[in-house]
C-alpha cells in the first residue's frame, strides 16, 4: 500500500469496469485514492485508516449464490461509505434493506429528483441527469435509510443511513454522462469524509525520487526505453534521482513507426545524460515472424525474442542490480484477503515486455501508483517535451499487429508510410491532442482499382482513430470529411502498392481499438 498521502479514499472493487474511473475521479479532487479487493478485512481497513470507502458497481446480483460481499464489519468502523450501483445494493442489503430484480430496468440516461440537498447533494440541481445501468434495485429500506433522490421507476435512486455515515447511489457518478457526478464525488470526499484535498503530483515526484536514491545506492539501474510516455517518464524520474547510474536499452525490432528509433535516440540524448544501448534486431524479429499469420502467435514470438535481445544486452552492462519498468496503477490491485496482509498482483504487460524473474534484477516500478493521465502530467512537470508526453499509445508488438496476416519487410514499409501520413495529417489539422489514438492498418486483401488508364489490383489501408478516457471503452473519432479525403488521397498517391483507403467506424465494444 502506498505511503503517498496521509489522507486516502479506498475503492473496493466488486468487478466493475469503472472502478479505475472512480479512483481517477477522486484523485481529480486532489485526494489520493487506491483500489483494493472487495474482500479486504475490517482489521486491514483499521490499519490503513482511510478517510472514506467507496463500494464499486459490479456485474453480479447481491442475492445470487456466490455474489461478492464485503466484510460486514466494514459498516461498524465509523468510516464514511459510499455505495455505487451494486455497492449501494450491497450496503442496503447488509443493513436491513431489500434488493430485487425489477421489471422497470434502467440503462442509459435518466433524470433524478433530488429530495435532500444536504452534504452529498449540496449544490446539485433539484432535477439532474444521471447514468443508470441496473436491472436490480433497492425496493425497501426498512426505516433505516432516508431517500435522497428518486426517478419515476426507482424510488431509492440515492439513500443515506439514518445513524451511520453510509450513503448509496443507484446511478454512476464517475461517468461523464452523469452531469453533476464530479460534484457528488467532491461532496463525498470533502463534505462527508472531511478530506482537505492537498495531494499533488509534485509531492509524488519528490518522494519517489528520494525513495529511488535510497533504494539504489551506488548500484546501476537498467530501463527499457520504447519512446512511449511511460518509459520516458520512468527514465526522467531515474535520471533526476541517480543520473549517470542509469543505463537504457532500446530494442529496435523493425516493427516501430517511421523514424521512431532515430527520434527516440535524438530525444533521449537531448533530455537525459545517461548510458543508451540500441539493439539493432530487425532481421531477428522478421525471421521469427516469417510465415506467421495468427495474431497470438505473433505476439508470443515477438515477446520471446524481445526478452532474448534485452537479456543479451543487459548482460553487457556491469554493476546493474535493478530493472525499471513502467508499470501503471491499473496493472496493480492490492489484495486484502491474505492472512499476511496485502499482496500485489502484477499483470505481465509492462512497457518493457513483461521481463521474467530469471533475468536476475530487482524491480523498480516508480509509476505503479499512477494512472495514465497522471503520468502525462508528471512528464510535463519533469520537463519532458509535449511531443513525448502526448504521443499516442503504441502496442508492444508494434506494427506486427497492424499488418494483418504475414509480416514482411515490404508490407511494413507500406504500412509505415501510410501511418506517417495519417498521424501527420491529424497533427496538421490540430486534432492530435483531441484524439486518443490514430493509426493505419494494412489489410490482408487486394481490390481492383484504376490509376491513370491502367487497372490495378493492390492493397487496402484502413484508417483507425478513436476517442477515449480510459481505453476500456472507446468511440470512433468523427474526423472532418475533408481531412479523411486528404489522408486517402495522399496514401493512394504516395504509398506504392495501395489503391484503396477505408475508415473504421467501430466502437469498443464490440470491436477492439487494435485489429489484432
Q: What's the CA gap between 327 and 240, in Å, rounded?
A: 19
CB 346 within 8 A of CB 327: yes
Put residue 141 in one of left, alpha, beta given phi > 0 → left and psi -120 to 50 → alpha. Answer: alpha
* Preceding peptide of 192 cis, ω within 30°: no
Q: Is 228 annotated as a binding residue?
A: yes
- Let me know how long the chain is: 516
CB 228 within 8 A of CB 201: no
Put residue 461 in one of left, alpha, beta given phi > 0 → left and psi -120 to 50 → alpha. Answer: beta
Q: What's the CA gap between 463 and 431, in Å, rounded?
A: 15
Among candidate residues 33, 38, 70, 85, the one labeled active-site is: 85
Reading across the β-sheet that carries 127-140, which strands appear in turn?
A: 127-140, 98-114, 145-150, 158-161, 166-169, 81-84, 52-55, 8-13, 32-37, 332-335, 343-346
Q: What's the CA gap between 344 and 351, in Å, rounded?
A: 18
CB 91 within 8 A of CB 55: yes
Q: Is 226 annotated as a binding residue?
A: yes
Q: Based on the number of CB atoms within 10 Å of its own CB, is 140 exposed (0-12), middle (13-18) or buried (19 or more)?
A: middle
From the list 71, 87, 69, the residue with the least C-alpha distance to 19 is 87
Q: What's the CA gap between 313 and 275, in Å, rounded?
A: 12
Q: What's the CA gap between 117 and 152, in Å, rounded?
A: 19
Please tell me what DSSP assigns to residue 64.
S
C-alpha cell at 250: 532500446
Q: Is 9 annotated as a binding residue?
A: no
The neighbouring-strand residues paired with 43 are: none
Q: Is 58 annotated as a binding residue?
A: no
Among candidate residues 172, 193, 350, 374, the one labeled active-site is: 172
**Cβ partners under 8 Å of residue 23, min gap 6:** 11, 33, 34, 35, 329, 371
CB 258 within 8 A of CB 420: yes
Q: Is 218 annotated as a binding residue?
A: no
Put residue 353 in one of left, alpha, beta given phi > 0 → left and psi -120 to 50 → alpha. Answer: left
Q: 374 catalytic, yes or no?
A: no
Concatenating the DSSP letter of every residue in 153-188 gives: S-TTSEEEESSSSEEEESS-TTSTTSTTHHHHHHHI
CB 392 within 8 A of CB 437: yes
**If DSSP codes are grouped into helix, strand and coil, which group holds residue 6?**
coil
Q: 172 catalytic, yes or no?
A: yes
Among candidate residues 34, 174, 374, 516, the one labeled active-site is: 174
From the list 187, 134, 160, the residue with the least C-alpha distance to 18 is 134
Q: Give the Cα-Cα-Cα angle 172, 177, 182 (nearest 5 degrees).
A: 65
Q: What's the CA gap between 268 and 234, in Å, rounded?
A: 12
Provide the annotated active-site residues.
85, 172, 174
User: Residue positions in the annotated binding site?
Assistant: 226-232
Q: What residues form the annotated binding site for ATP?
A: 226-232
Amino acid at each position: 500500500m502506498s505511503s503517498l498521502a496521509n489522507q486516502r479514499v479506498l475503492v473496493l472493487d466488486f468487478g466493475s469496469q469503472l472502478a479505475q474511473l472512480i479512483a481517477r475521479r477522486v484523485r481529480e479532487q486532489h485526494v489520493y485514492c487506491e483500489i483494493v479487493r472487495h474482500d479486504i478485512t475490517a482489521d486491514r481497513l483499521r490499519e490503513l485508516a482511510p478517510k472514506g470507502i467507496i463500494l464499486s458497481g459490479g456485474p453480479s446480483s447481491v442475492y445470487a449464490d456466490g455474489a461478492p460481499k464485503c466484510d460486514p464489519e466494514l459498516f461498524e468502523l465509523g468510516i464514511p461509505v459510499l455505495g455505487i450501483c451494486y455497492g449501494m445494493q450491497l450496503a442496503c442489503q447488509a443493513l436491513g434493506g431489500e434488493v430485487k430484480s425489477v421489471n422497470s430496468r434502467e440503462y442509459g440516461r435518466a433524470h433524478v429528483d433530488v429530495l435532500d440537498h444536504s452534504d452529498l447533494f449540496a449544490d446539485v440541481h433539484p432535477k439532474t441527469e444521471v447514468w443508470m445501468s441496473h436491472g436490480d434495485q433497492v425496493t425497501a429500506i426498512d426505516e433505516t435509510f432516508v431517500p435522497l433522490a428518486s426517478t419515476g421507476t426507482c424510488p431509492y435512486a440515492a439513500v443515506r443511513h439514518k445513524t451511520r455515515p453510509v450513503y448509496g447511489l443507484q446511478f454512476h457518478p464517475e461517468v461523464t454522462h452523469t452531469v453533476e457526478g464530479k460534484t457528488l464525488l467532491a461532496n463525498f470526499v470533502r463534505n462527508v469524509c472531511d478530506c482537505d484535498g492537498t495531494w499533488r503530483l509534485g509531492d509524488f515526484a519528490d518522494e519517489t525520487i528520494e525513495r529511488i536514491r535510497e533504494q539504489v545506492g551506488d548500484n546501476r539501474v537498467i530501463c527499457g526505453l520504447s519512446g512511449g510516455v511511460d518509459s520516458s517518464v520512468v527514465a526522467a524520474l531515474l535520471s533526476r534521482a541517480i543520473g549517470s547510474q542509469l543505463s537504457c536499452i532500446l530494442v529496435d525490432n523493425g516493427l516501430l513507426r517511421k523514424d521512431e528509433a532515430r527520434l527516440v535516440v535524438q530525444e533521449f540524448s537531448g533530455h537525459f545524460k545517461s548510458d543508451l544501448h540500441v539493439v539493432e534486431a530487425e532481421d531477428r524479429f522478421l525471421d521469427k515472424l516469417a510465415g506467421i499469420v495468427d495474431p497470438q502467435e505473433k505476439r508470443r514470438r515477438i515477446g520471446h525474442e524481445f526478452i532474448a535481445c534485452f537479456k543479451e544486452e543487459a548482460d553487457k552492462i556491469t554493476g546493474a542490480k535493478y530493472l525499471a519498468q513502467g508499470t501503471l496503477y491499473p496493472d496493480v490491485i492490492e489484495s486484502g484477503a491474505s492472512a499476511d496482509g496485502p499482496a500485489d498482483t502484477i499483470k505481465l504487460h509492462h512497457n518493457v515486455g513483461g521481463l521474467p524473474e530469471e533475468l536476475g534484477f530487482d524491480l523498480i516500478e516508480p509509476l505503479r501508483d499512477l494512472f495514465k493521465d497522471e503520468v502525462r502530467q508528471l512528464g510535463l512537470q519533469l520537463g519532458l517535451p509535449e511531443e513525448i508526453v502526448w504521443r499516442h499509445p503504441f502496442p508492444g508488438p508494434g506494427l506486427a499487429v497492424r499488418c494483418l496476416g504475414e509480416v514482411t519487410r515490404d508490407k511494413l514499409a507500406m504500412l509505415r508510410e501510410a501511418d506517417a501520413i495519417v498521424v501527420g495529417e491529424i497533427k496538421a489539422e490540430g486534432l492530435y491532442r483531441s484524439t486518443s489514438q490514430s493509426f493505419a492498418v494494412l489489410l490482408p486483401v487486394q481490390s481492383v482499382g484504376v490509376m491513370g488508364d491502367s487497372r490495378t489490383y493492390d492493397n487496402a489501408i484502413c484508417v483507425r482513430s478513436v476517442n477515449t478516457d480510459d481505453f476500456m471503452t472507446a468511440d470512433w473519432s468523427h474526423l472532418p470529411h475533408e481531412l479523411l479525403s486528404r489522408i486517402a488521397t495522399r496514401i493512394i498517391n504516395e504509398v506504392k502498392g495501395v489503391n484503396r483507403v477505408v475508415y473504421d467506424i467501430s466502437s469498443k465494444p464490440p470491436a477492439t481499438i487494435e485489429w489484432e
